[in-house]
Amino acid sequence: MERIRLIMLVCAIASVETQAGAQTLDDAAVGSALQAGVTKKFSDLISDCVATPGFGEGMGASLAGGIQPIGAYTVTASGAEGRIAFLAADAKRLYKPFGLSDVPPQLRDRSMLFVTVTPHAPKKSSSSYDVPSPIERVVLKSKADPNKVVQPENIELSPLEWGNLMGGKVQGNSAVATFPHSVTKELPPGDIDIVVITEAGERRCKIGTKDRAKIIR
């Protein structure tokens, strides 16, 4: 009887370790993601879109000097593999090293959805200077049921600064929000809105049904 209990305990421990390992990318999987990023062949690992203001939103909110806080944002959603590939591609573009040793444990976590929000640089329009408003939060929202909203487990905001054509400087930020797949799966089937909440209002774009299937496990 004691031997049977010992065998059952060993099997239970092995099962837990197997499940934990399945949620963590091993070195081979990380290496494949890094190679995908370096060769820019990772479109199947991500979903990207451009978040913009709703119709008429922010148009009356002029800041000093004719500045309008209506700039857009590139949004990239992915699992762990896509996030690593995205960072590897960016590192190559900037001639910066990014290898196996640069990938921390949190980026190997296959149970998480990563949403990166990068503001577009300010630009001069016909009547104003359009800038992205500072980001405060990022949430996911069902298009089928707008009452279903998922909050991030964590969000990191990084400050940015641009010079403008009038000789001044514009402050902004970028964001990386993480959401557990177990929570995002609770959203109703169909498209998901990525809502970027800024100081000047909401900016949004969507993860389509097909992309949702490939990046949310």
Taking 70 as the threshold, does the pLDDT of residue 17 lie above it? no
Is 178 contained in some domain?
A: yes
Between 162 and 157, the higher pLDDT residue? 157
What integer pLDDT is reported at residue 5 of this predicted model? 47
C-alpha distances in angstroms, 23 versus 15, 80, 99, 188, 199?
A: 13, 10, 21, 24, 36
Alpha-helix runs per DSSP H in the chain: 2-22, 27-38, 80-93, 181-184, 209-215
Is 97 contained in some domain?
A: no
Is 121 contained in some domain?
A: yes
pLDDT tens per residue across span 94-139 = 999 999 999 999 999 999 999 999 999 988 877 678 899 999 999 9
Is 50 contained in some domain?
A: yes
Number of domains in the chain: 1
Give pTM, 2 decimals.
0.84
CA 166 to CA 123: how far, in whole Å? 11
Taking 80 as the threshold, does the pLDDT of residue 180 lie above it? yes
Taking 80 as the threshold, does the pLDDT of residue 217 lie above it? no
Is 81 contained in some domain?
A: no
**Domain span at residue 131?**
45-76+110-215
Is 101 contained in some domain?
A: no
CA 10 to CA 37: how far, in whole Å? 39
